[in-house]
Amino acid sequence: MKSMEKIKDLSLVIPVFNEEENLEELISRCLGVCRKTGCSFEIILVDDGSGDNSTAMISRAASENPDQVVGVLLNRNYGQHAAVVAGLAESCGDVVVTLDADLQNPPEEIPKLLAEIEKGVDVVGTIRTNRRDSFFRKFSSGLVNSMVRRATGVMMHDYGCMLRAYRRPIVEAMLQCPERSTFIPILANSFARSTGEIPVMHEARTRGDSKYSFFKLVSLQFDLLTSMSTFPLRLLSFVGTIIAMSGIAFGVFLLAMRVFMGADWAAQGVFTLFAVLFVFVGAQFIGLGLLGEYIGRIYQDVRARPRYFIQEIVKGPAEQNIQH
């Protein structure tokens, strides 16, 4: 089977934003790991508009290791996921591994990912055992992961960890998506025929600070939510229907009580007013939800994701294609 073939070319894609303290160790550890794998490899360092020494360090590493290190220098800061896409666009390996530059994802775990890919899966995700992050980060990440799982069905457990491996067809498919706000792990999964997941070690950040402020994190979560589906828009109609139904039920209940208990019971019509109000509020939500349905469809069209992606076209004399 083709997918069981051994990996020949490996590309590492690493987004770098002000990581001067980590770069030297990162590059030497990655070089060490890649050399041991025995396949030809390239390490693509994407400088996401760093303001420190990182840019110069990347350029130097690229000139010192001309066949192994490639520097992709962006003119300003575009964010981690945009930087990864820039790196993917330059990569040419048949398997691409992404990881963070801050050494929280130990490069020594890469061979495990490759072994999983060699089993024939398209995308390998990772679960961070002994996760070393602040409580707030762990909590919000847990919340998001469970939300994604619910909306997409259980596919993976940890979407936040960027130590991941993708086969070339998946990378090509992702590069054909012209949408602006991408959340790579989810985008990749939407094109994968089969996925694998393995546990990896996670280190605390020893040097430099996290590049995600609270607001950047919130914006990332919204990217994730909207890139996943238009489910939140549909939620409006759902909520509206519930409110309207409860309004109607309340109205019927009031009518019955009025008949049996007399006019005084319903607080002279105040309750009735509430029941009517509920129905109208619900109807408004349903109206909003309907608008949402249209917006959702517009969004899908504007994103213009390819509807399918051909992995391979087999042509030629028939006897070559028939398996004996």
What's the rounded Cα separation, in Å, for the pair 189 and 186?
A: 5
How far from 109 is each of 60, 154, 163, 185, 226, CA to CA, in Å?
26, 24, 9, 18, 31
Q: How far is the CB of 247 from ligand UDP (least distance, A)?
A: 44
Q: Which stretch binds Mg ion (CB under 5 A): 46-54, 95-103, 107-115, 175-183?
A: 95-103
User: Among 11, 19, 23, 254, which residue sits at the site for ligand UDP (rule: CB under 6 A)?
Assistant: 19
- In this structure, what token pair is assigned to residue 169? 């067809």
What residue 173 binds from ligand UDP, Mg ion, none (CB within 5 to 8 A, per partner kind)? none
Smaller CB distance to ligand UDP: residue 19 or 158?
19
Among 7, 33, 34, 48, binds ligand UDP (CB under 6 A): 48
Q: Does 54 bind Mg ion (CB under 5 A)?
A: no
Angle at 17 between CA 12 and CA 20, to 5 degrees: 90
101 binds ligand UDP (CB under 6 A): yes
Cβ burial of 145 (10 Å; 0-12, 13-18, 19+) is middle
Q: 57 to each of 17, 53, 90, how far by Cα in Å?
A: 12, 6, 19
* Contact call for residue 18 and Mg ion (CB under 5 A): no
Residue 278 binds which entry of ligand UDP, Mg ion, none, with Cβ cut-offs from 5 to 8 Å by kind?
A: none
Chain residues 198-217 in contact with ligand UDP, contact rule CB under 6 A:
210-212
Indicate whether 102 belongs to the interface with Mg ion (CB under 5 A): yes
Answer yes or no: are the C-beta atoms of 158 and 184 closer than 8 Å. Answer: no
| Location of structure tokens 């229907």 | 241
Q: Residues interacting with Mg ion, by CB under 5 A?
A: 100, 102, 104
Q: Residues interacting with ligand UDP, by CB under 6 A?
A: 15-17, 19, 48, 77, 79-80, 83, 100-102, 104, 210-212
